[in-house]
Amino acid sequence: MRRGPRALAALALLPAGLFAAGCGIQSTDVIAVGGPASAQAVPPGDGTVLYFTGPDGLMPVVREGTSQAPLPLLFAGPDKDERAAGMSTELPPVQGAFKMSVEEGRVTVALGQDVSGLTPVAQRQIACTVLQAVARGGTVRVMILGGGAKSSLSPLACPV
């Protein structure tokens, strides 16, 4: 069956006509739907989750293939690949040993240095990393103790 030039022209104009008609959806103003997104990482069986600062705030980083204690890794800072991805840390260089104890409802982290100068972001880096390692979920808080008579921080949660 042979079609004439008029039929072919009509078929060629059909997509343009549909495009011009639109789909009938009216535009609207911006509608607020809640707070910003957050992220929580779940490591594979042999991984460790550390919290570093990134372009969008505190971010979880999964270090696969390591099941080491999280605090030495956290205080060592982001590795080469993590730095290339924009990760950094607000934690000072480590001084002294780390100790961590877990009690019902609280994890206590003892550092061999003064902690009174830790920024709020650095405090959250410690709290989130520790809570990810020992207590996923629940209302567990982290108490950070440091060397010195009055070097301690109030119990912290992980608001990430």
Residue 154 pLDDT: 78
Contacts of 53 (CB under 8 A, 6+ apart): 59, 87, 88, 89, 90, 121, 125
The most confident of 37-41, 128-132, 155-159, by mean pLDDT = 128-132
Question: Could you give the angle at the alpha carbon of 119 between the alpha carbons of 115 and 125, nearest 5°?
Answer: 85
Residue type present at position 63: R
Instruction: Of 94, 100, 54, 57, give the one whose Cα is nearest residue 78.
Output: 54
Beta bridge partners of 52: 59
Residue 138 pLDDT: 62
Residue 35 has pLDDT above 50, yes or no: no
Q: Please tell me which residue, 156 or 139, carries the higher pLDDT value.
A: 156
Cα 158–chain centre separation: 11
Residue 127 has pLDDT above 50, yes or no: yes
The pLDDT mean for the chain works out to: 77
Residue 55 DSSP symbol:
T
**The tokens of 21 are what?**
């008609």
Residue 88 DSSP symbol:
B
Phi, psi of 130 (to 5 degrees): -65, -45
Residue 112 DSSP symbol:
S
